[in-house]
Amino acid sequence: FVSRNFGQMRNLWRLLLSVQPSRGLVDEKFSVRVQNAPPAHPLTMHALLHSEDGDTWEAFGHYVTDAGGDVNVTKDPSLGGTYVGVEPMGLLWSQRLVPGSRPGLRFRKQDVQTPMQVRLSVYQGHQSEGFMDRAVLASVMMERWYMAPGVRRVNITEGGVTGTLFLPPGPGPFPGLLDLWGGVDSLVEYRSALLASHGFASLTLDYLKPAQVKNEYFEDAYRVLQQHPQVCRRRIGLVGLSFGSSMALRTIYSNVIQVRKCLNSVFMCFFNEICIKVQPDSNQLIWRNALLPMPTDTSKKVDVGRLQCPLLLVVGEDDQSWPVPESADDMMERAGNSHLLTVLSYPRAGHLIELPYSPHCRASKFLTPLHKERVMMLWGGEAAPHSHAQEDAWRKTLDFLRKNLYCSAD
């Protein structure tokens, strides 16, 4: 075949590209297969998606067909591209901004009521650039959803509380979760939407206004969730990420919030904007040294000895934003009730341990909560091990939630 006649080549091959399932949840694995190509032939698998902000992301892997002219991404290794080796979900988690894009962006789905649409394409040879100018041998669109069919999204503005409640399909009542995101100035819904897709009534909370970062506000939110007719009032937990973990841990001192479990991903007990360090070669800020060495004054720490519910800590060992491994070790040493603590620790994973198959974000622009200064923050982590950590942590998180909110006795 000659490279200038791709249309004729595609017809002669009768090349087939398939994705199963082509429509599913974002944490659901899919299989990609190419059939009817020549044996031992180089092909490039390419995945393209457009964010709601108009930015374009891509990932690609280099493959060689087997003796039957097939490529099965689930079991065949990528020889190059944005990921290497046998990585069934590499076309998602290795997504990166196309060349020439705005710097410092982080992929986030804003409207969870619409799917993330990913265009999968096959190209001749091993390509690494200029995909838009190349002929496509085969292409298919797939959809990944945060909301399963039947999940309901409810705006909450009552009792001074603002947020979004996601309810699973059916009448309930369901175990409830308060979902506290990190230091962002907007409501983040996609984790709560996916938690509801797995059977939990999840309230993602808007709480970063100065008047709201108080235990009273979280107590009000807890009451709103507890009093909802489709929430099991005696089976409620908290989920925190980054600064949200700090807020979740502070509820230990509340006489109102009586949680059944607490999950903290990349937690830290204080939010501090001092002692920042600039990485000279990239002008990225590192916050992890702000509280090192760990304070010895116990009055400056959350008293984990008061903990009366199971607590799961998810730790990225290469976190460059907070001294997370040191904090987890400190908590384990001080906890007289260590049987309630479970620590998942991941080497070469960074700060932003998100939903499975989310593109790894090593650094991005960040608006500091106190001074409202936009900086380039180094979060840490390496793409492949960080992504594997996200997949493993999510599976174990769901197991933890089911065990303590669905299966345990009152």
Q: Domains of the chain by range and CATH? A: 16-145 (2.60.40.2240), 152-407 (3.40.50.1820)
Q: Determine the Cα–Cα distance for residues 325 and 345; give it in Å rounded to an integer.
A: 8
Predicted TM-score (pTM) of this structure? 0.90
Yes or no: say if 324 and 293 are a contact pair by the CB < 8 Å rule.
Answer: no
**CB count, 10 Å around CB of 160?**
12
Q: What beta strand segments (E) does 210-340 contain? A: 231-241, 261-265, 277-279, 284-286, 311-316
> In terms of residues, how long is the chain?
410
Q: Give me the tens of pLDDT residue by residue for the chain, a chain 410 residues long.
A: 333 344 545 455 689 999 999 999 999 999 999 999 999 999 999 999 999 989 999 999 999 999 999 999 999 999 999 999 999 999 999 999 999 999 889 998 999 999 999 999 999 999 999 999 999 999 999 999 999 999 999 999 988 899 999 999 999 899 999 999 877 767 899 999 999 999 999 999 988 765 556 778 888 999 999 999 999 988 999 998 888 887 777 777 776 777 665 666 544 333 333 334 555 445 688 888 877 888 888 877 777 777 778 889 999 999 998 888 888 888 888 877 778 888 999 999 999 999 999 999 999 988 776 667 788 889 999 999 999 999 999 999 999 999 999 875 55
Q: Which of 275, 315, 295, 278 is nearest to 397 (CA)?
A: 315
DSSP H or E stretch at residue 120: strand 116-124
What is each CA distance from 166 to 147, 302, 353, in whole angstroms?
9, 30, 21
Active site residue 388: no
3-state SS, residue 394: helix
3-state SS, residue 163: strand
The residue from 121, 197, 202, 242 that is catalytic is 242
Sign of CA dihedral 71, 76, 78, 82: positive
Where b means 16+ CB within 10 Å and e means fewer, 359-379 reads bbbbbbebebbeeeeebbbbb
The residue from 27, 318, 319, 358 that is catalytic is 319
Active site residue 282: no
Active site residue 408: no
The residue from 351, 358, 364, 386 that is catalytic is 351
Yes or no: say if 250 and 306 are a contact pair by the CB < 8 Å rule.
Answer: no
Q: Determine the Cα–Cα distance for residues 363 and 253; give it in Å rounded to an integer.
A: 34
